[in-house]
């Protein structure tokens, strides 16, 4: 049993946001992970807003997060390709946002690959959630 303790500790440390279940919990978890490579990291609304609005150049139709989610996280969005309505990102308007670890990871993985062209860093995720948390 003792031989599994270091492995368990490592897995728990890597799991990070898997145990978060609130927007603030996700920000804390991603910020802690980001601080490993960026000492003193703090999630920032302005960086999150800039990240969401940036044209990543990966796709013409999915150029930025705001292409589908709008530039106001408290408003609903519309998928730029399918036309499907997307519920608001802001947890103050849509309390289900950033409450389910599996969904959070699923959508960050999918959207980051499609829009940014790679997986998003923990710092980018923390900044993004910090930005959408402030939307009313």
Task: Please give the full DSSP string across 34-76, using - where no structure is assigned.
Answer: HHTTSTT----HHHHHHHHH---SS-STT-STHHHH-S-TTS-
- 62 found inside a domain: yes
C-alpha to C-alpha distance for 135 and 66, rounded to whole angstroms: 14
Domain count, the chain: 1
Residue 88 belongs to domain with CATH number: 1.10.760.10
Question: How far is residue 112's CA from residue 92's CA, in Å, rounded to a whole number?
Answer: 23
Q: What is the pLDDT, as a whole number, of residue 103?
A: 94
In a domain, 35, yes or no: yes
In a domain, 81, yes or no: yes
pLDDT at 136 (0 to 100): 56
Instruction: Establish if 8 belongs to a structural domain.
Output: no
106 touches 100 (CB < 8 A):
no
Domain region containing 108: 20-133
Q: Looking at residue 6, what is its pLDDT?
A: 42
Residue 25 lies in a domain: yes
Q: Is residue 13 part of a domain?
A: no
| Position 119 in a domain | yes
Decide if 54 is inside a domain.
yes
Contact 27, 124 (CB under 8 A): no
What pLDDT is attached to residue 7? 40
pLDDT of residue 134: 80
Which residue stretches of the chain have pLDDT < 70?
1-19, 135-136
């Amino acid at each position: 049993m003792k031989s599994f303790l270091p492995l368990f500790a490592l897995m728990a440390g890597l799991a990070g946001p898997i145990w978060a279940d609130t927007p603030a919990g996700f920000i804390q978890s991603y910020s802690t992970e980001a601080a490993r490579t960026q000492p003193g990291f703090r999630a920032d609304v302005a960086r999150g807003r800039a990240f969401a609005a940036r044209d990543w150049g990966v796709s013409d139709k999915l150029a930025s997060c705001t292409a589908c989610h709008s530039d106001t996280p408290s408003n609903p969005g519309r998928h730029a390709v399918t036309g499907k309505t997307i519920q608001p990102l802001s947890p103050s308007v849509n309390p289900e946002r950033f409450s389910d670890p599996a969904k959070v990871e699923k959508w960050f993985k999918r959207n980051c690959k499609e829009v940014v062209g790679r997986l998003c860093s923990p710092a980018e995720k923390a900044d993004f959630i910090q930005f959408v948390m402030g939307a009313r």
